[in-house]
Structure 1
Amino acid sequence: MEGLSPPGPDTVNRRPVAASGRPVAAGVVLWRGARTLSTIEVVTTVTRSADICWGQRYFWLHRHWIPTDARHDEHIVLRHDLPAKLSTARVRMALNHLVRRHEALRTTFHVGPDGGPRQVVHPPAPLAVTVAEAGPRAPVPPAEVIRQRTEADFDLTTEPPIRAVVVTVDDVPRQLVLVLQHIAMDDWSATALYGELTALLAATGRPATLDPVCDQPADLAVREAGVDGARRETDLGYWRAQVADLPADVYAQRRRPGVTESYSASLTSPSLLGAARRIAARYQVWPSVVHLSAYALLMAACTGGDRVPYWLFTSRRDTSADATVLTSMFAPMLMNVDLSGDPSMSKVIRQVAELLDRSKGHLVTSYDEMVELMALEGTRRGRTVRVEAEVNFLTYTPRGCGARRSRFTWNRAPAAWARSGADSYFRVYEWQDGVTVALRASGEVLDRAAVERFLRGYEEILNAHGDPATDLTTSEIARQVGFDGVDGCRVPPADRHAQPADQAGAGEPDLVATVAAVNGLDVVDPLDSYVVAGGRALRAPAVVAALADRGWLGLRVPDLLGIRPLRALAGQLTPAGSDRPAG
């Protein structure tokens, strides 16, 4: 790629034409080694903005939910071993071409004039690439450079959501590491980007053909904004009914407030792959349904509850006409599995399959709207409705895990994840030759022994149901796994501060005025919670920022999205530069 002359930083590729002047298929890029590009790109200056996409809303809210120094837990890291005889200039050229192709890689995120988040697409510019030399000449070891670039928070208002590190040995590139912010890329997008990068880097002396880029994230956002209002109301009604049936806290009987430890473990099992597929074939469902059913049964056995709610990370690509857009197109979907009446595995599988089908038919609703529904329901009950269990099913075939027998592993404590406020995060990785199940858990809800018991019990129960004669009930599973009788049985008291403070704090007028201004409200009652008063979840970060501009600190986004009245929240406000609370 040396000797090529890419378009300048103020241009973006549109439809290429051959040197003869005849149009060629959009997305086809012909590279001829170190000679010349055999297509001429028709370019035009482009800068545009749009609302963020539905799938991006979760990450916008989530990144403002957690502390700045813990946000790296949501970064995607891709490592690419580079072909031999490749120059750093050629790697840069490949990356810059991807930046031109995909607007997601040159988008920043801002609070718009109405207080809601906006994505702003910038003209292409060369991507900053960090070169880390390995060996005794290195001032900083490459591993440390990569750690720093991975763990540093993205300033999404000024920085593109991609970083690149090239590791060299004697100035020869050996590995490329990309760090992606999750608001710009989901797992599907990262995989597609990796494939394009591989094709470009391997194109030495022969053409590299990339699929056309038909749509960009801003196009998707415009189409999402145009969805029929009646359809959105129907979907909100469905989720409102689901939220009304939620338990206040699935971990209520296990919760031990004040415990600060967190745990992470995984279990890889070759036998789980065959067992899940046999069960799936028996009931004519996908293997993912089998895993979600097993999770619900183990959670019921673990918590002693008869309803198991959790957030299932669900791709919107299955139902979207925009399935190939490189952006985050997944979001947590609420699941609430009914385990009352001591159902057997077969009944739970059928229920989960039906629940998935119904819920996926109502995805014209975003995560922030679900947060608002839960806040309203909590206000109605006078108690926070808490769902902080997350589940993710990931298919990694055709890659293999290489395990020949079951292997249990304790992982490093998930310190950054623990600061997100989540209770548990369960993941299923389906490989070509096995299945890995991984669990992160806050010590408030699961101790070290319970985490191991959960994972080993999960393997035991699924393997047992590989036998068609086995159909265990929740209580039988609890006894077999060792969760018979919930540890601790401590039910936390009702929410503190659910009622407003007796008197208005000094910061209340500014808080009320800020909530009104950011959300475009004429009247805000300080005796209402933020959401009841009309505040939108997506605008909560703007409220926190505007309060800081007025000289008030002490409130976080999760505070605003709870059930406490604004008057009570005003008591948390602290004048900037003072250690004394305002209230």
Structure 2
Amino acid sequence: MEGDAQRSRDLLVAHPFSEQIERLPFPWGERALELLVQRHEALWTTFGEDSHGDPKQRVWAAAPVRIQHFDPESWATADDFFLHLDKTPFRISEEWPLRVGRAGDRLNLVIAHIAIDAWGARVLGREFDSALTAFALGAEPELLPAGAQPLDQALWERSPAGRRNDDSACAYWRTELESRPAEYFPAARRPETVRYHEASLTSPAADLALRLTAATLAVPMSAVALAVGALVLAHMTGRDAVPFHMTWAARQRADAKEIVGSLFRDIVFTLDASGAPALSDLAVQAQRHVLRSGMRGQFDLLRFHETKAAASRSRGLLLRPGVSFNFRPFEDTDDSPGVPPADESSWAELRIRSTWAMVPATREHWNAHDLHIRVSPAVDGLRLVAVSHEEALDEEALRRFLYGMEAVLVRAAATGDTTTDLDHVLGCVADRPDTAYTQVGASWLDLRETERLLRLHPAVHDVELSLEDSTLRARVTTQDDDLTPAALRQTLLAGIDACHMAACPALFEIRRMGDGGGRAVTDEVVPRIVTGPGTERNHSGPADEAERVLHRAVMAANGLASVSMTDNYTEASGRWSRIPNVCDLVARAGYSGLSLADFEGPRCLADVAAGMQRADDSAGPTK
């Protein structure tokens, strides 16, 4: 589900799943469709909100499916008609999430993603095939009784057992997010728009190599693909901790396995490719990470975002998703390892059959991912797809990356050697980061950006940053007796967003000029050195009209008696389910300029308010 938080939630739209069925016998297809709709409540559920503004599912009474028929007077071709059905956004608060179109013997099903995920789509597809076959033979389909429905899953999530599961999952994710690299591709200052490139390599050799290697190592193909991607990326960038972001089915509970609904979650984990590990070792590490994360993969999504925002505030960093990875075999493939070629020259001949494609670059705003990798075994070969913006990997780097994955897979399968010399196999040495980037924890960050942001404080005369015993320290000189570490940290966090990444020092040391060597701050309220997340939280009320508007909106939307403007939204006990309500209240008060990104980072509410604009004021932010 997507939508700008500052718009009315009636305008929320959903990305669709689209399935086209060719040469469909009439009327068996429509009978099969009617049967499935009767079985699965998700297909006649709307997603709105209750009187408190919280998300709410509403299951309507089942009714006949409305089928839209192709009209040659309105559409040039049936393909244009189907494209219209596929691309038109769903109004999920009032419209059923199922849209059906028919043109002759072609039936097109479009289902909003909020109502179905890939797992649920496969369940629906199996049942449709069974029903269609039975009707064609003049029999009634023998389907298992319909089991749990999405509302049953929602009720379990809100039960005591579900709450305990959620608490455990969020505690796990908080620990993971505290140590995860903030981002993988360093980019201290980013342009507002950037060109994205999409490259694809279809390789029969890589497909066979992946199957053989997975069978040899006794791990899933997805784990081998993850390990290969991490090895090649770490070699190309010189950054060994590779943070991944992966979609998980979240079907651990037995009665959830046959639910046609949208239960998937995104899980995050980091692979350690330091010391040039063998592919076999990294594949096992990848599988363990996926399983450990997947065990905590059934969680309240809004609570996860609150946990992420809290970790972001604690670390003083905006946590980006990392490298997106998706492994999805096509339906017409199997897991059999296949027969290996006789020798390396036969592997080389097989590699010649690989096909390469590059989609023309598009210029667009930053999306959630710097790099997206999709690996799909298919009948014509392993489809390796990578989408990246030019600030991370340009066209040539994408080519090297995908051909590098193919080379590592083929080498491991052809020789049985999983301790591959990447310099030899890839034909290149690592592109080490710019010397301005310093490794702070697991993250590579440009300390010049940290210095620039700290110098924005009017009382700062000079800044010196140093990394001592893995701790980033900031030594600041000033002539202002009132300057505190808390004020410096606040200035720094105010400048961090999706286009400006900086490291927040764990220790600040303030020295005043002109007093014989720099007398440090020593009063009891503000110590001389303040340690990272231990910064004292001093309650602060709103200071101007914009802050008062946001202050009232956060309290009213969340039912809070008081809110400190020096806290970020999560620290102030703000709930993510109420962010649209906050934005609505701010808009009613005559202000605009808020989006979801304003609430997920480390900035405090006072700095969020500074970015708000009067609806009738085009001059810019309020501060």
Normalising by structure 2, report the TM-score. Answer: 0.74
1:291 to partner: Cα distance: 0.8
1:265 to partner: Cα distance: 1.7
1:65 to partner: Cα distance: 7.0
- State the match for 2:128 in structure 1: 197
Q: 1:438-477: CA deviations, max 9, x gaps?
A: 111122312111112111111111111114542346x835
Q: Secondary structure at the match of 2:255?
A: coil
Match of residue 405, structure 1, among 353, 356, 377: 353
**CA contact under 8 A between 2:6 and 2:594: conserved in structure 1?**
no
- State the match for 1:207 in structure 2: 139
Report the Cα distance in structure 1 between the residues aligned to 2:398 and 2:215, rounded to whole angstroms: 29
CA gap 1:505/1:206 in 2 versus in 1, 3 angstroms: farther
After TM superposition, the structure 1 = structure 2 runs for residues 349-364 of structure 1, keeping only pairs within 5 Å, are 349-364=283-298
Question: Are 2:311 and 1:377 equivalent residues in the alignment?
Answer: yes
1:412 to partner: Cα distance: 5.6
Report the Cα distance in structure 1 between the residues aligned to 2:111 and 2:287, rounded to whole angstroms: 33
- State the match for 2:504 in structure 1: none
Report the Cα distance in structure 2 between the residues aligned to 1:364 and 1:179, rounded to whole angstroms: 26
Q: 1:508-554: CA deviations, max 9, x gaps?
A: 22212222222232221111111121122333233323333443321
1:414 to partner: Cα distance: 6.8
CA gap 1:545/1:100 in 2 versus in 1, 3 angstroms: farther
**CA contact under 8 A between 1:307 and 1:340: conserved in structure 2?**
yes
**CA contact under 8 A between 1:403 and 1:434: conserved in structure 2?**
no
- State the match for 2:372 in structure 1: 425
- State the match for 1:456 in structure 2: 403
Report the Cα distance in structure 1 between the residues aligned to 2:369 and 2:610, rounded to whole angstroms: 25
Report the Cα distance in structure 2 between the residues aligned to 1:73 and 1:479, rounded to whole angstroms: 43
**CA contact under 8 A between 2:266 and 2:297: conserved in structure 1?**
no
Match of residue 239, structure 2, among 281, 295, 305: 305
- State the match for 1:118 in structure 2: 56
Q: 1:94-140: CA deviations, max 9, x gaps?
A: 44443322111111112334443221111123333322245xx5544
RMSD over aligned CA atoms reads 3.4
Question: Are 2:80 and 1:80 equivalent residues in the alignment?
Answer: no
Match of residue 175, structure 1, among 87, 103, 106: 106
1:160 to partner: Cα distance: 1.3
After TM superposition, the structure 1 = structure 2 runs for residues 24-173 of structure 1, keeping only pairs within 5 Å, are 59=1, 62-64=2-4, 74-84=15-25, 86=26, 94-134=32-72, 137=73, 139-167=75-103, 173=104
**CA contact under 8 A between 1:573 and 1:582: conserved in structure 2?**
yes
**CA contact under 8 A between 2:14 and 2:114: conserved in structure 1?**
no
Report the Cα distance in structure 2 between the residues aligned to 1:286 and 1:438, rounded to whole angstroms: 19
Report the Cα distance in structure 2 between the residues aligned to 1:295 and 1:476, rounded to whole angstroms: 12
Report the Cα distance in structure 2 between the residues aligned to 1:299 and 1:243, rounded to whole angstroms: 21
Q: Secondary structure at the match of 1:207?
A: coil
Report the Cα distance in structure 1 between the residues aligned to 2:557 and 2:89, rounded to whole angstroms: 26
- State the match for 1:441 in structure 2: 388
Q: 1:296-335: CA deviations, max 9, x gaps?
A: 1122223321211121111112554311000112111111
CA gap 1:372/1:339 in 2 versus in 1, 3 angstroms: farther
Query: Radius of gyration: which is bigger?
Result: 2
After TM superposition, the structure 1 = structure 2 runs for residues 539-558 of structure 1, keeping only pairs within 5 Å, are 539-558=578-597
- State the match for 2:470 in structure 1: none
- State the match for 2:329 in structure 1: 395
Task: Read off the aligned partner of 1:289 and give its amino acid letter.
Answer: A
Q: Secondary structure at the match of 2:266?
A: strand
1:384 to partner: Cα distance: 1.4
Equivalent pairs, count: 510
1:483 to partner: Cα distance: 5.6
**Stretch of structure 1 that moved more, 558-567 or 94-103:** 94-103
Question: Are 2:576 and 1:506 equivalent residues in the alignment?
Answer: no
1:217 to partner: Cα distance: 0.4
- State the match for 1:536 in structure 2: 575
Q: Secondary structure at the match of 2:406?
A: helix
Report the Cα distance in structure 2 between the residues aligned to 1:266 and 1:208, rounded to whole angstroms: 44
**Stretch of structure 1 that moved more, 407-416 or 243-252:** 407-416
Q: Secondary structure at the match of 1:458?
A: helix
- State the match for 1:293 in structure 2: 227
1:404 to partner: Cα distance: 9.2
Report the Cα distance in structure 2 between the residues aligned to 1:138 and 1:364, rounded to whole angstroms: 45
**CA contact under 8 A between 1:300 and 1:308: conserved in structure 2?**
yes
Report the Cα distance in structure 1 between the residues aligned to 2:245 and 2:127, rounded to whole angstroms: 31
Report the Cα distance in structure 1 between the residues aligned to 2:300 and 2:423, rounded to whole angstroms: 35
Question: Are 2:245 and 1:314 equivalent residues in the alignment?
Answer: no
Q: Secondary structure at the match of 2:114?
A: coil
**CA contact under 8 A between 2:322 and 2:370: conserved in structure 1?**
yes
Match of residue 559, structure 1, among 579, 583, 598: 598
**CA contact under 8 A between 1:66 and 1:420: conserved in structure 2?**
no
- State the match for 1:238 in structure 2: 172
1:250 to partner: Cα distance: 0.9
- State the match for 2:215 in structure 1: 281
**Stretch of structure 1 that moved more, 486-495 or 504-513:** 486-495
**CA contact under 8 A between 2:246 and 2:267: conserved in structure 1?**
yes
Task: Read off the aligned partner of 1:118 and give its amino acid letter.
Answer: K
CA gap 1:438/1:229 in 2 versus in 1, 3 angstroms: same
Report the Cα distance in structure 2 between the residues aligned to 1:381 and 1:145, rounded to whole angstroms: 50
Task: Read off the aligned partner of 1:81 and give its amino acid letter.
Answer: E
- State the match for 1:521 in structure 2: 560
Q: Unaligned stretches of 5+ in structure 2?
A: 335-349, 438-445, 454-490, 496-539
- State the match for 1:42 in structure 2: none
Normalising by structure 1, report the TM-score. Answer: 0.78
1:221 to partner: Cα distance: 0.7
Q: Secondary structure at the match of 1:321?
A: helix
**Stretch of structure 1 that moved more, 259-268 or 432-441:** 432-441
Question: Are 2:426 and 1:480 equivalent residues in the alignment?
Answer: yes
Task: Read off the aligned partner of 2:357 and give its amino acid letter.
Answer: T
Task: Read off the aligned partner of 1:536 and give its amino acid letter.
Answer: R
1:234 to partner: Cα distance: 3.0
Q: 1:194-228: CA deviations, max 9, x gaps?
A: 34334445524612413321111001111122225
Task: Read off the aligned partner of 1:524 and give its amino acid letter.
Answer: V
Q: Unaligned stretches of 5+ in structure 1?
A: 1-58, 168-172
**CA contact under 8 A between 1:498 and 1:565: conserved in structure 2?**
no
